[in-house]
Amino acid sequence: MADVLSHSALLARAQSSQGTSCSYTPVRCSVHYSKQASAHLPSRSAVLLRAIQCQAGVSGRKKPPSTLAKSKKKSKTPEGTVQGAELNGAGRRLSKVIEQDVLVEDFSLDDIELDDNDDGDYAAAGETFMNAVVKVLCVHSKPNFSLPWQRKRQFTSTSSGFMVRSEDGQRWLLTNAHSVEYHAQVKVKRRADDQKFLAQVLAVGTDCDIALLTVEDEAFWEGVTPLELGPLPTLQDAVAVVGYPIGGETISVTTGVVSRIEVTSYSHGATELLGIQIDAAINPGNSGGPCFNEIGQCVGIAFQSLSHGEADGIGYVIPTPVINHFLTDYRRNGRFTGFPVLGVKWQRMESAGLRSAYGLDPPRKGVLVRSIWPTSPVSKEVKPDDIIMRFDGVDIACDGTVPFRRGERIAFSYLISQKYTGESAQLDILRGGEELSITVPLDRPHPLVPIHLDDKQPSYLVIAGIIFTVCCEPYLDSEYGDAFINDSPVRLMDLTLHGHREFIEQEIVVLSQVLACDATLGYEEIHNTQVLHFNSTRIRNLAHLAQLTTACTQPFMRFDLDLDEVVVLDTKTALKATEEILAMHSIPSVVSKDLAHAVEAARSNIAASAAAIPTAA
């Protein structure tokens, strides 16, 4: 099992769907849920929920406390139909209709004994929380990965966000990363306010699905108290999710309890980080909204849920340890640098025979290192067949878990995720029967096939009618839809699931398509295949290919492809055809802007070489 980008995380994200209002609804996640009888709502939670309900316009009536014992029933509440849209992301097709009947806890206000004059006090308390929750309206301008010099038609989405204040007094907004993906414009709207304010995106954490925003207009912040981030909740704690889901324009509140806390697959970033599972409804548009505990503290950000048909009433919340990690990373570096990983694949050692063969006798425990990523910073210190017994002094069990809280255990990748990129960790390992203590650096992963481009435009190169680009998951999604994990070429899928970079700059260059012209006659059927060599030189990345083709002085250009296919072009004919193709298809340049420097460098080298040739006397 890899510590990041496990198959379960990739499958959960690749087979996910998303509603029109920016809330992920992963399908076919490997999550099993057993509904348990819910505890009675604590009195402090009743106060918070009463305050929020008063602000939402719900009134209760007095009832004797004896009826509280009857409040454990569940009611089936139809939440409407969510229409899918073209809100495409890496590994997702979003044109799907989801009909949800959401099971929520019936914490009826009838079960709470209140004085007739208490509504005003509760409403004032609820207003403090509710006013800090905003609607996020984003205009997205996503690239066309199949025609990488173009962008798709702009579209809009709505989601939720909330105000927080940093330790040094800076005023920020938190929402989900997928809510502002490839944003062209972001506006935010306060509750009960008709004015929309322009927002600026300060940082986007794709790994943890968090985005940090701010608003320059002082009027936006007037009269609002930012939310306080609370501690990690415990099982059966009552929670309330507040936001602006689809189905209406006003603020919405759903309530439930914490069902599970564990390392969870984050569908947007295909990562595995600490997550909270709740039984409160999280619908499209709730994304980015706060999840309150019983005393009004924000304990997380709503970000995804299971689709109807898999399970009812299962939502997921990004907990405050992950939020604080993101914010601390931004404060330290001025940007998001990511969650680090070890960069190894490991195996559980639950088999007594396996432990005996490696000399792992009781009371020693640990996990077996199967392989190390070539670009992993630990590759010089850790070797295959090492047994990792402790991480920063914490014992790792043979099933790969570590102590979490009283009576709880969690995957040891949680300990790694608490570190920051560039930090070091101490590993106690068993190698050949000898215990060693080593210090290893930590870095964020560099997948061979990128999961996201961090809102960058895709790279491309045009030679005659041949379009070359870099293989990434958004490209595969553009070509094959959300089923790309099953429908894309086997070789590319194998690289996506199992490939690792041999060096940091390595990219998988693919021949995307062939635009018909005389120079490419006979090659029109070739598409989506890896390019391995150019004129016998192994290709390192797309910039390298651009340099090689620009500097080519040979009469022919030979491209060696996967599956032993070969494409050969006459150099002079190809260069002439390139200009015609650019004009015919309105392509602005032979290469994308990010590759222009590589082409200019190659041309400069050609000019320098020509100048160095002595002229005849």
Catalytically active residues are 178, 209, 287
Helix (H) / strand (E) element for 210: namely strand 210-214
Neighbours of 269 (CB within 10 A): 25
Which tokens sit at 358? Answer: 């490696």
Alpha carbon distance 268, 13 (integer Å): 6
For 221, other C-beta atoms within 10 Å of its C-beta total 15
Instruction: Look at the block and give the residue holding tokens 């590993």.
Output: 427
CB distance 512 to 144 below 8 Å: no
Half-sphere exposure of 408 toward its Cβ, with a 13 Å CA cutoff?
12
CB 467 within 8 A of CB 445: no
* Torsion (CA) 177, 183, 189, 191 in degrees, nearest 10: -30
Strand partners, 186: 138, 199
Contact call for residues 231 and 274 (beta carbons, < 8 A): no
Task: Tell me if 36 sits within 8 A of 300, measured CB to CB.
Answer: no
Whole-number Å distance between alpha carbons of 562 and 488: 14
Element (H, E) at 79: strand 74-82
> Tokens in use for 393?
């002094």
In terms of DSSP bridges, do strands 183-190 and 133-140 run parallel, antiparallel, or are they unpaired? antiparallel
33-37 long-range Cβ contacts below 8 angstroms, 24+ apart: 33/259, 33/260, 33/277, 33/306, 33/311, 33/314, 35/103, 35/279, 36/259, 37/72
Q: How far apart are CA 172 and CA 134, in angstroms?
A: 12
Residue listed under structure tokens 């980008």: 5
Burial 402-426 (b: 16+ CB within 10 A, else e): bebeeeeebbbbbbbbebbbeeebe
Judge whether 571 and 556 are in contact, CB under 8 Å. yes
Question: What φ, ψ does residue 213 adopt, rounded to 5°?
Answer: -125, 165
CA angle 388, 208, 495 (to 5 degrees): 65
CA-to-CA distance for 227 and 591, rounded, in angstroms? 47
3-state DSSP helix/strand/coil % of the chain, to nearest 5: 25, 35, 45
- How many separate helices (H) and strands (E) can be counted in the chain? 12, 31
